[in-house]
Structure 1
Amino acid sequence: MDKWLIWCDLNAEQDALEKLFEGQCVSVRGSTPASKRLEYEKAWREGDVPIMISKPLVFGFGMNWQHCSKMAFVGLSDSFEQVFQAIRRCYRFGQTKPVDVYMITTSLEGAVSENIKRKESDFQQMVGEMVKYTKEITSESIRSADRDATEYEPQRAIIIPSWLRSESFAS
């Protein structure tokens, strides 16, 4: 059974998703008590609950959900950082499957969607430039590096404890 993570932006979207997936999901809101958040998350991660619904501001940072490779965004904010971080919850070290991300928007959200796409393009360009310059700096650093070795000249003999010298330890 595939696990799904559904991100929404507004309370009305979360209400509609809860109703649509009733009995198949857990839903974590900002108002959900911490103990319930953990209970719901565990039911989704380890249990038979296939869908978790939340918002990037609630659960989009710091979680490691490599067990999940399918997510959908139902509604977006203008925050590329929130989208990026939410995607990274599943796209983590240890993920064994491709992560499928679906963004469902309405025609009213066209400007928001285009803004996210532009910010993603800017981000990709920035990462490319950072890699290029970091690669040059690293290569230069490696080429100009001298090996630095310090000779060890002990001033005292080492004292080996008797229990380490015992025959029972050595065998």
Structure 2
Amino acid sequence: MHKWIIWCNLNDEQDALEKIFGDDCVSIRGSTPNHKKVELERRWREEEVPILITKPLCFGFGMNWQHCADMAFVGLSDSFEQLFQAIRRCYRFGQTRPVNVHMITSSREGATAENIKRKEADFQKMVAEMVKYTKEITSESIRSTERDVTEYTAITPIKIPTWLRSEKIAS
């Protein structure tokens, strides 16, 4: 079964998506009781339904969904962190396929989309700088280390137990 996660931000978006996908989806909201959230997520994860519809605030943090490699965002918020974390639910250690992320926005969301792009560029720049400085610090640390060797001279001869000598001789 081909799995999808559809992320939305507004209740109206979630209502419309539920109507479109009907029985092919489970939809989890913040107001969904916890025991029901667990049951609905299990139904999707164990392939009873192919589509999970939810919000980044509900399931965008901490889940490990390597079994899914396709997601769509229907509408965006200004939170790059929510977007990044939601993508990372599938793009995790153990994922064997490329993760496909589709972003569906309206013309009214142009400023929000541009803001997210700017935040992503800032994030990429920050990561590159962190790698650069970490690499320099690590190299410097390695170059400044010294090997500490303690000379050891054995003065007590090794005594092999008789039971070991007997066994060795017998074989």
Structure 1, gaps ≥5 residues long: 153-171
Residue 114 (str. 1) matches residue 114 (str. 2)? yes
Alignment of 1:122-137 (within 5 A): 122-137=122-137
| Superposition CA RMSD, Å | 1.4
Counterpart code for 2:145: A
Code of the aligned partner of 1:84: F
Task: Say whether residues 1:40 and 2:35 are aligned partners.
Answer: no
Q: Give the 5 Å matches for 1:1-171.
A: 1-148=1-148
Give the number of the structure whose alpha-carbon radius of gyration is greater: 2
Amino acid at match of 1:78: D
**Please, what TM-score do these two structures have when normalized by structure 1?**
0.86
Alignment coverage as a number of residue pairs = 152
3-state SS of the aligned residue for 1:102? strand
Q: Alpha carbons of 1:143 and 1:55: their partners in 2 closer, same or farther (altered >3 Å)?
A: same
Map Cα deviations across residues 110-169 of structure 1 (whole Å, 9 max, x no partner). 0000000010001001000000000000111111112346789xxxxxxxxxxxxxxxxx
Measure, in 1, the Cα distance between the counterparts of 2:92 and 2:31: 27
Partner residue in 1 for 2:163: none
Structure 2 gap segments, 5+ residues each: 153-171
Structure 1 runs (4+) greater than 4 angstroms displaced: 148-152
